Structure 1
């Protein structure tokens, strides 16, 4: 897998989690623990995207 395709996959997963967050927030009885977990996963992906993009520019 090339670095660019890996970055694209990470970005796709990041966007999918954001959509899940938006769906969860649209419901008045949203689960705060689920939201926190989704946000944590999104942040982990963002960190991976940043590290991968930085590594790609160094090489």
Structure 2
């Protein structure tokens, strides 16, 4: 897998996670801990995307 396709895959996962967080925040049965964990995962993905995007090709 090339670097560009890997970054695109990470962006897709980040976007999917964003939608899951939004849905979880609207769902009354979702705990704050679950939402916080998803947000942490989103942040890790964003940091990885940023790191990989900054690397020379």
**Structure 2 length-normalised TM:** 0.92
Unaligned runs of 5+ in 1: none
Distance 1:12 1:2 in 2: 15
Distance 1:16 1:31 in 2: 19
2:30 maps to what in 1?
30
1:18 maps to what in 2?
18
**In the comparison of the two structures, how many residue pairs are matched?**
57
Unaligned runs of 5+ in 2: none
**Structure 1 length-normalised TM:** 0.89
Q: State the shift of 1:51 in Å.
A: 0.5
Is 1:53 the counterpart of 2:50? The answer is no
SS at match of 2:29: coil
Q: RMSD of the TM alignment (CA)?
A: 1.0
